[in-house]
Amino acid sequence: MYGSWVLLILILISSLPVIAVYIWFRFAKYKFSLVRFLFALLAGAAAFFPALILQGLLSFSIPSGKAALFYHFFVRIAFTEEISRLLMLFIFFLIDSRVKPADSSGRPISYNTLKRGTAIGLVAGLGFALLESAVYGASDTGVLLIRAVTAAPLHGACGSRVGAAAVLFRTNPIQAVFRVLTAIAIHGVYDLMVIQSGFPAIAAVLIAISALVNTILTIKGGWVSAEDEPPPVYNWSSEAAPLEQQPSTKSEGIPLGPQPSQKSEGSPLDKTEENQ
């Protein structure tokens, strides 16, 4: 009974980063509803299960050495978790676009959209860390407090990069792949320093916190509201010009329709009609 209360308290402690991020979003007045926040948190937590499946499929035995270390930390752990998170965020953005479709025809990914994807990825990463910490804490409560300090910032920082990649894949796949690889690299280095002996534990903490600070500055720096978002940018070379820019078919001073014939005074025709 005592162990259950300790586990519950430690889980509440590990959820403090989630609460802090939500309070930050509310005070900063970002356009981020509670429903979207909770669904992003759920999407991140759901990524834990496909990651487990992929890790089971990739449980190959490799001879000990540097290659084995690289495979275990960067491929079997970091790669599987970040790819699973990317998959869940793809599903999240697909559902989100169906619920609230946006008219983005002919418009590139805006600065505001990229910021929102980064923020959603941050929340999804915290959701993943919360569930993973609960699973690890169920077997060893001593690990949970340490993970609350390090794992939550790490998964939040990596999730933010994967979230930005999820919204960039259609318009800029190269940059999207680069962000995913960056998340895998940060994740792999952190796991290597935490688990492998010979590395100072403070180094892993500094990596996680510095990556999270970079994410916070990225989200905070210049998030604009929907009203301040710049108008769509069109490529006029491949599209018809708008109606107000199309040249008028009416030329100044040149009548377009048939005009009634005008008689000039003193013409021979007038004199003939008068004589008749």
Percent of the chain at pLDDT > 70 equals 68
Q: Is residue 60 situated within a structural domain?
A: yes
Q: How many domains does the chain have?
A: 1
Residue 27 lies in a domain: yes
Q: What is the pLDDT of residues 81-93, one digit of tens each?
A: 999 999 999 999 9
In a domain, 181, yes or no: yes
Task: Determine the pLDDT at residue 271.
Answer: 46
Three state DSSP letters for 181-243:
HHHHHHHHHHHHHHHCCCCCHHHHHHHHHHHHHHHHHHHHCCCCCCCCCCCCCCCCCCCCCCH
Q: Closest Cα partner for 161 from 212, 91, 230? A: 212
Range of the domain at 127: 2-220
Token pair of 210 as six digits: 């510095």
State percent of the chain over pLDDT 90: 37
pLDDT of residue 187: 94
Residue 265 lies in a domain: no
Q: Is 253 inside a domain boundary? A: no
In a domain, 100, yes or no: yes
The token pair that represents 203 in the structure block: 């180094």
Task: Indicate the residue type of 5.
Answer: W
Half-sphere exposure of 32 (CA within 13 A, CB side): 29
pLDDT at 78 over 90: yes
64: pLDDT strictly greater than 90: no
Q: Please state the rounded mean pLDDT for residues 109-117.
A: 76
- When the pLDDT of each residue in the chain is averaged and rounded to a whole number, the result is 77
> Is the Cβ–Cβ distance between 203 and 193 less than 8 Å?
yes
Residue pLDDT, tens place only, 16-52: 889 999 999 988 888 788 999 999 999 999 999 999 9
Q: Say whether pLDDT at 250 is over 50.
A: no
Residue 54 or residue 59, greater confidence: 54
pLDDT recorded at residue 240 = 43
Query: pLDDT tier at 109 (50, 70, 90 boundaries)?
Result: low
Residue 102 falls within a domain, yes or no?
A: yes
Residues 162-186, mean pLDDT to the nearest whole number: 94
Q: Which residue has the higher pLDDT, 181 or 274?
A: 181
pLDDT-based confidence at 251, cuts 50/70/90? very low
Query: Is 65 part of any domain?
Result: yes
